[in-house]
Amino acid sequence: MSKPSVAGVQDKSYVVAVQEVKPLSVLGTDGTVVNPDEMPKLSDEQLKELMRRMVFTRTWDQRAVNLTRQGRLGFYAPVSGQEATMVGSEFALNKDDFICPGYRDMPQIVWHGLPMYQAFLYSRGHQHGGQIPDDVHVLMPQIIIGAQYLHAMGVAMAFKKKGEKRVSITYTGDGGSSEGDFYEALNFAGAFKLPSIFMVQNNGYAITTPFAKQTAAMSVAHKAVAAGITGVQVDGMDVLAVVKAVQDAAERGRNGEGATLIEALTYRFLPHSMSGDDPSKYRTKEETAEWEQKDPLNRFRTFLVNKGLWSEAEEAAVVEDAKNTVAEQIKKAETTEKMTIPGLIDSMFETTPQHLEEQKADYLA
């Protein structure tokens, strides 16, 4: 069986063929460069920016977990462990590329421009959380697992039709890769040769179900083969590898070479969501400890420190900034004017029909 016929990438070991693949990595777990050929072209300033964003995201996540426990946030899905995948994949895009996120993908859309207080409003169940500013190219997070794959495919169709050199990116977890919508999106993207990037953040579990029970496929990335699109696997704890994989996929998309499915192997250190699952019931301490060895922040920090690009003081400043930003943004969310039933009614249609005007009157009296 031949490998997917995408120019220039057939000879890479992390491109999926019908055999086992080895994930693309640039850094070893000790922070040394193991694969210099795949090093993305980034300036020192960009390398530092990646670190800043990962550290900021980790702190923000910790604060959000606390805020949820205090009842100041609503639904929240923790992201610690997945920073390299989330931050790195967004970093590899242009500002006008379009993100269709799932419920866990807040970091990507905030780094893409959504004000953080709106992310908090979304969590608190306020409509304004989804009122994306005009110059921010994202949708609000999707709850229906897989639906965002179809939207990203549709967005890419629009870009293709308008002749715009933009790509869409979307995310789900390993569980989401079992949904029908996932397959339909991949298949459409293949059939119409669309500039979509489909990312699967394989963090080992769908709520509590382990990946081994999710699929008998050799990998998620293999699912690209049947759709005729490029499939690659990447070490999702290695931010440089993620940047490279997404940059390559975006370039293929912009060059008219079609869609890419990227499986990022990653891990969430915390529970599935803050709504009550206890990870100790479905995974072992040893497993978590093993993944903690691959912590994306530690790896990248070592790499930067070795290059003389990062210091404890710089990191402390980022943590401080993150704490202050979260405090200020949650305050802004908490003091945003509350939703009203008449406002809700008016958000159903462009022009509110008479029967809804009548129903609205009951609340205005």
Cα dist. 289→276, 294, 298 in Å? 22, 9, 14
Q: What is the pairing mode between strands 196-202 and 260-265? A: parallel
Query: Which residues have a Cβ under 8 Å from the Cβ of 163 and sit 6 or more positions away?
Result: none
Which spans of this chain sit near other proteins (rule: CB under 8 A)?
98, 100, 127-132, 139-140, 144, 147, 149-159, 161-162, 168, 180-181, 184-185, 187-188, 191, 344, 347-350, 353-356
Q: Is 117 a catalytic residue?
A: no
Give CA 236 to chain center in angstroms.
11
Active site residue 282: yes
Per CB under 6 A, the list member of 80, 170, 172, 329 interacting with ligand TPP is 172
Q: Which of 268, 283, 299, 363 is catalytic?
A: 268
Q: Could you tell me how far CA 5 lies from the centroid of its own chain?
A: 27
Amino acid at 121: L
**CB nearer ligand TPP, residue 174 or residue 238:** 174
Q: Angle at CA 149, nearest 5°, toward 145 and 154?
A: 140
Give the whole-angstrom CA distance, residue 142 versus residue 130.
11
Active-site residue identified among 72, 183, 282, 283: 282
70: CB partners within 8 A, 6+ apart = none
217 is a contact residue toward ligand TPP (CB under 6 A): no
User: Which listed residue (272, 294, 299, 301) binds ligand TPP by CB under 6 A?
Assistant: 272
Is position 268 annotated as part of the catalytic site?
Answer: yes
Q: Which of 9, 99, 145, 169 binds ligand TPP (CB under 6 A)?
A: 145
Task: Give which of other proteins, ligand TPP, none residue 205 binds (C-beta under 5 to 8 Å, depending on kind).
Answer: ligand TPP
Q: Is 143 in the site for ligand TPP (CB under 6 A)?
A: yes
Alpha carbon separation from 65 to 75, 271, 322 (Å, rounded): 10, 10, 14
User: In angstroms, what is the minimal distance from the CB of 327 to ligand TPP?
Assistant: 27
Residue choice 30, 66, 131, 144 for contact with ligand TPP (CB under 6 A):
144
CB atoms within 10 A of CB 290: 11
Q: How far is Cα 197 from Cα 75, in angstroms, rounded to an integer?
A: 27
The answer to whether 171 and 141 are in contact (CB under 8 A) is: no
If the CB atoms of residues 181 and 248 are measured against ligand TPP, the closer one turns out to be: 181
Query: Catalytic pick from 58, 63, 222, 272?
Result: 272
Distance CA 280, CA 344 (A): 40
**Would you say 65 or 99 has its CB closer to other proteins?**
99
**Please, which residue, 207 or 361, has the CB nearer to ligand TPP?**
207
61 binds ligand TPP (CB under 6 A): no
Going along 207-275, which residue ranges are E strands?
209-210, 230-235, 260-265
End-to-end alpha carbon distance in the chain: 71
Q: Which of ligand TPP, other proteins, none is residue 171 near (CB under 5 to 8 Å by kind)? A: none
Task: Choose among other proteins, ligand TPP, none what residue 174 binds, the Cβ cut-off being 5 to 8 Å by kind.
Answer: ligand TPP
Q: From other proteins, ligand TPP, none, which one binds at residue 176 (CB under 5 to 8 Å depending on kind)?
A: ligand TPP
Is residue 206 close enough to count as binding ligand TPP by CB under 6 A?
yes
Q: Is 203 in the site for ligand TPP (CB under 6 A)?
A: yes
Cα 78 from Cα 70, distance rounded (Å)? 15
Q: Would you tell me which residues interact with ligand TPP (CB under 6 A)?
A: 104, 143-145, 172-176, 201, 203, 205-207, 272
Q: Cite the active site residues.
A: 268, 272, 282
